Structure 1
Amino acid sequence: MDLSRQPVVDAATPPASAVPVAHRWNAVVWVLCGLLPPAIAVSDATGGTKYTTYGLLAVLTFSYAAVAMFPSNPALRPSAYLAILTVALGAVAYVMGGGAALFIVSLPHFWIYASGPAAALSFSGGAAVLTALASAAGRDPEPRVLTGDTAFIALGYVVGAGVGLLVHRISEQGEARAQLLTEQLADTQAELAEAHRRQGAADERERLAREIHDTLAQGFASIIVLAEAARSGLDAEPTRATQQLTSIEQTARENLAEARALVGATPPPGGAVQGSVSATLRRILDRFAEDTGIAVDADLADVDCDQQTRIALLRCTQESLANVRKHARASTVVAVLTPGPYGVDLEITDDGRGFDVAAARGFGLDGMRKRLAELGGELTVTSSLGDGTRILASLPTTAPGHEELV
């Protein structure tokens, strides 16, 4: 930690309770090894020396306590404390005739409370000179500059300056590394946020693609098939062609409503299944039979499930029937909706030409699997060439009253 860069003058400096542990130990050492020995040494001295020393030590103690306990107070400038410390060290040395020990023990204060290395060196250098001169003047009426105290003070100053500069350099390197790590962390957070944004956009695109495939695309495919059938049977079967044109109109209107809902804020018309899910599926199956002429056998139990499960069953039925219409060339479709103690099964089979499930790469089957997986369900597709197709959608059900918002 850089002792010379403690933010003692910053208004945002933490309270005394947040003072580093090293500073607290330095305070203990300073009191025990710096202030206490002079106080004991003058306890038997004459009144003037004794009380003057006690007064100077008291000034030092209260000054240090003020700046250490209230570092955020702008009135308590660390530079003022260092000036008081410098003068007090010299005064104690003059009164006692020596002050090398107190000066050396006080050296960390210059590095803790100075604004930088230059200020620490200047204050501690001034204190060293003043203490040495005061020690010499106080001991002998004809002072000698080169004394043992002077040598200890000079040595202490040199060693303290070296240690302080070393700690300052190490602290600067630590701060640089911390700054680099902070910048790297910020960059990583920004990259993570961007990745989340891209993932969210991809998920939304996939959701929209699935909704478009399950609604608009299926509707347009139905319109195309019905239009081709109506055109070919317009002369031979006008009644049938009229029914097909009516279905085209109805499907087109539904697609228009779906498109408006997808680009607006309201849920799609098919996004909220009203009434019994079995009744909704039966209407879809009846319309499929009417549009295609394929026989439909439905056994749909009355199932009580949440809205998301209803929508999933609806989409799976629509996708399965669309595949039958486009690919199966089937003559019969069987739909069975079966409730269970913990879920519901929807099974749709046809007697069409079947396909190789392992080689299938259709978007519709993948969309059904993902839709069911999001609700904790699964899709099982069984088919082989010439043997028809079986689609089994298994979904867990949610108790009524605990439905999730769509």
Structure 2
Amino acid sequence: MDLSRQPVADAPLPAAVPAAHRWNAVVWVLCGLVPPAIAVSDAADGTKYTTYVLLAALTVAYAAVAMFPENPVLRPSGYLTVLTVGVGAVAYVMGSGAALFIVSLPHFWIYASGPAAALSFSGAAALLTALGGVLGRSAGSELLTGNEGFVVAGYLVGAGVGLLVHRMSEQSEARARRLSDQLNHTQAALAEAHRRQGAADERERLAREIHDTLAQGFASIIVLAEAARAGLASEPVRAAQQLTSIERTARENLAEARALVGATPPPGGAVQGAVSAMLRRTLDRFTQDTGIAVDAELADADCDQQTRIALLRCTQESLANVRKHAEASTVHVVLADGPYGIELEITDDGRGFDVGAARGFGLDGMRKRLAELGGELTVTSSLGDGTRVLASLPAFAPGHEEFV
């Protein structure tokens, strides 16, 4: 018996009836209604048919409140009133009704609005059952029998069990509310953590994009401006070329800035077309701006947009490091397209550096950019022996429509 459900007073029952309630209904019919019907099958017609009518009325009342819980006319308190009067009437007609009363006890706790109502309805049913049994016996019978004792004992035991289960139910509900509050708090904290992580990831992405585009462009402008200023008198043609490069770089930076803030679509010229042609333009411009010779072997690799961007950014960052730190005279670039992916190797004959002691944003940004596309970055260098940068990428980046 499930005595833990305590709906509010006269409130509609939920549409989904718990399985334990259905089993209780089966027990009530088989052990509460069927035995009286069998017991009066040989009784006088008045007793038999009156009992059948009362049992049928109880069955209909229970079926109505169970099958149509949301009907405002069929309220649990109305059913409990019918049940209370019904068990008393059956006891009066049959001269006893302890069994039906005891089997019906769970109904008072299931459908009552609370412990007080359950005790009141079941107490009234116990009184009517005992009184009906006494009044319904034939003259000369004992005034009190074991039936009345069973009724009283059943009421007391039912009241004790009902109160105990109600208390356990309240504790369970309180515990469930606490767990629900904790869950809501945890979900809110998790959502806030996701929001903060998303903001941090976006800041890191913007920082990487700014470093790879705007910062590199500004650094190039500074170097070109210094060189142009130094050569205005002695190399006017060279200075004019450098000023043109400054203008072009500034325009590209402006386009990149607009793209970052979403004002215009990203500039497509730098990342459109074959990746080899894209890198060739970048290398030619590097040679033009710095005078450093570049030896390039660029395969016609087939790759998606994100991979082209990653290869371009790695090339730009590597060349920027060569210009700022390496003091190299030659750069060798190889782009190879293999069956499992693309490799970009950039080496220089500069002074090299200690890779383990390097603390730059550029290398870390390249590693993360490649990792997002399923690739990796390998940097090999030592003092006096130049530097080798190897970027490995799958031919098609996971998560993009061109990936196969």
* Offset, 1:337: 1.3
CA shift in 2, pair 1:182/1:349, >3 Å: same
Scaled by the length of structure 1, what TM-score is found? 0.93
User: Of the candidates 243, 256, 259, which is equivalent to residue 258 of structure 1?
Assistant: 256
Three-state SS of the structure 2 residue aligned to 1:5 is coil
**Which of 353, 373, 393 is the matching residue for 1:375?**
373
Q: Structure 2: which amino acid aligns with 1:95? A: V
Q: Which residue of 1 aligns with 2:396?
A: 398
Q: Name the structure 2 match of 1:22.
A: 20
Report the counterpart of residue 187 of structure 1 in structure 2.
185
CA distance in 1, matches of 2:55, 2:6: 26
Query: How far off its partner does 1:332 sit?
Result: 0.9
Q: Which residue of 1 aligns with 2:354?
A: 356
Alignment partner, residue 322 of structure 1: 320
Distance 1:192 1:206 in 2: 21
Partner AA of 1:243 in structure 2: Q
User: Residue deviations 1:327-376, cap 9 Å, x none?
Assistant: 00011111111111121111111111000111112110111111111111
Report if the CA contact (8 A) 1:3-1:113 is conserved: no
Letter of the structure 1 residue corresponding to residue 300 of structure 2: D
Give the aligned partner of residue 76 of structure 2.
Answer: 78
1:295 aligned residue: 293
> Does the Cα contact within 8 Å between 2:10 and 2:77 map onto a contact in 1?
no
CA distance in 1, matches of 2:148, 2:27: 23
CA distance in 1, matches of 2:245, 2:13: 74
In the other structure, the counterpart of 1:5 is 6
Residue identity matched to 1:185 = L
Equivalent residue of 1:382, what SS?
strand
Superposed, which structure 2 residues align to 1:96-111 within 5 Å?
Answer: 96-111=94-109
Residues paired across the two proteins, number: 400
Q: What residue number does 1:283 align with?
A: 281
Report the RMSD for the aligned CA atoms in angstroms: 2.0
Letter aligned with residue 332 of structure 1? T
1:64-114, Cα deviation, whole Å (9 max, x unpaired): 122122222222111111111111111111111111121111111111111
CA distance in 2, matches of 1:241, 1:130: 114
Verify the 8 A CA contact 2:130 2:148 in the aligned structure 1: yes
User: Among 225, 237, 254, which residue is 1:227 paired with?
Assistant: 225
User: Counterparts of 1:22 and 1:198 in 2: how far apart (Å)?
Assistant: 47
What letter matches 1:5 in structure 2? Q
1:53 aligned residue (51, 54, 67): 51
Secondary structure of 2:347's counterpart equals strand
Paired position in structure 1 for 2:66: 68
Q: For residues 11 and 218 of structure 1, do their structure 2 counterparts lie closer, same or farther at Cα, with a shift above 3 Å needed? A: farther
- Alignment-mate amino acid for residue 47 of structure 2: T
Structure 1 residue 47 displacement after superposition: 1.2
Question: 3-state DSSP class of the match of 1:297?
Answer: strand
2:88 and 2:97 in contact (8 A); partners too: yes
Match of 1:125 among 123, 126, 133: 123
Counterpart-to-counterpart distance in 2, 1:3 and 1:393: 66
Q: 1:217 aligns with which of 215, 218, 221?
A: 215
Displacement after TM superposition at 1:146 (Å): 4.5
- What is the TM-score of this pair, normalised by structure 2? 0.94
The question of whether the paired residues in 2 share the 8 Å contact of 1:99 and 1:149 is answered with yes
What aligned pairs does 1:146-185 form with structure 2 within 5 A after superposition?
146-185=144-183
Q: Percent identity?
A: 79
